[in-house]
A and B are shown apart, each in its own frame.
Chain A
Amino acid sequence: MSGKGTAPGRGALYGVLGAWFGLTVVGQKLYRDQRKQTIWDKLYLVIPDWRFFAPNPGIHDHHLLMRDQLADGSLTAFREIGGVQERTLLHAVWHPHRRAEKTVFDSVAELLRYVGQHGEGLNGPDPSLQLSVPYLTLLSYVTSREHHPDAVRTQFLIAVSGGYEEEDEPTMVFLSELHAVGAAAKGRAS
């Protein structure tokens, strides 16, 4: 496309950039329901969402907790995994841990949106939930953590809190099924 004879190529370029910009304008649904996924969310690779923290920003921290069920049927206490680092001045230039923090944040948001869209139903959650990417992401992460030596199954819990506003009591928003771990999982797979 380079060189002297550029007019047709230039026309195509104008078309591509114009269409991209036009779609970006149209895709900015200011009142988009954040609980529902739309076609614009599926176009995230090319159509940006420029609303940044608006109109309703996230005002809660998400917490991922897990517990094990032991061979005798008892349950261990919940413990939090994958927490957020306390803000330091270094984060203004170098913040590699943010990627993992944001992954928990994004997958929890997507999971809750999935539950909101597909409903819990009378007989528990939609069975497709356990095959969804956010559920698999969190489950895979949880099952790969260190477990109680006698654990046969594990479970994760999502809670939200007011972060530094400690008077705002944490609330449980999602509890997963119990899933086999360790030897129990291997026995099932074989």
Chain B
Amino acid sequence: MIDWTYSEGVYELTLATPPCNEIGTAMLADLRRFLDQIDRDAHTLILRSGLRQGFCAGADLRELYRGLSDAPKDQHGPQIRQFIDAIHGVMDDLDMLPLTTVGVVHGVCFGGGFELALTCDVLIAEKTARFCFPELRLGIIPGFGGIPRLRRDVGNGLIRDLLLSGRSINAKKALAAGLVSQVLASGEGITAARALAAQTAKFDKTAREAAKAFIKKLPKDELLAERELFVRLAEGPALLAALKRFVESTDLRPYLP
């Protein structure tokens, strides 16, 4: 589930789905519901996790496995496409909101969670934050728009390293790479985000929205290409086999890349 509050132009959206805010159909529906009711006079959205474990561990792999293993094989493609279209709609809308969006990240920020964070205009990381694209281990690529969005911010060398090795990087490295713009001690991220929201409140709405529209574009062609590649790979046998291994694993540390 997700919770949100709204006060004096500031939304605080808190992800709170144990174990670590895995993105499945319920989270997706909650995010869509949030987006559909947004007050266009708001100036700031703060996105964060209310769970100690981290920001978000990515897509809900257990739900994905259930959905695919229960469906006939010829339905896998349409099912994946339906989910990926819905998630792209939510991610693109978050990305292009006419508000200043601030992500506060701590702990695990993996896969789809990383991709969700990348929709934010400003990323504030607490020291514990770790960023990772583990998708190749599942026989797929990041499918929620992460690579095209990351390409807006950081160099291709680091993206290739992250994508092709699946390794995770810490907040300090993310700051050096320009992926996040502030690093704070544990528990201090929300204070910094609220201070930024208070600053944002002082700005003229038209100028603020124009500034964002000027500097932040949706990489439409790449997002479309990514979506097609993702669906093609996800229809293959590697994903289902990897999901089966994940779901059936008795390893206590399934999230370690």
* A is bound by B: no
A binding-site residues for B, Cβ under 8 Å: none
B binding-site residues for A, Cβ under 8 Å: none
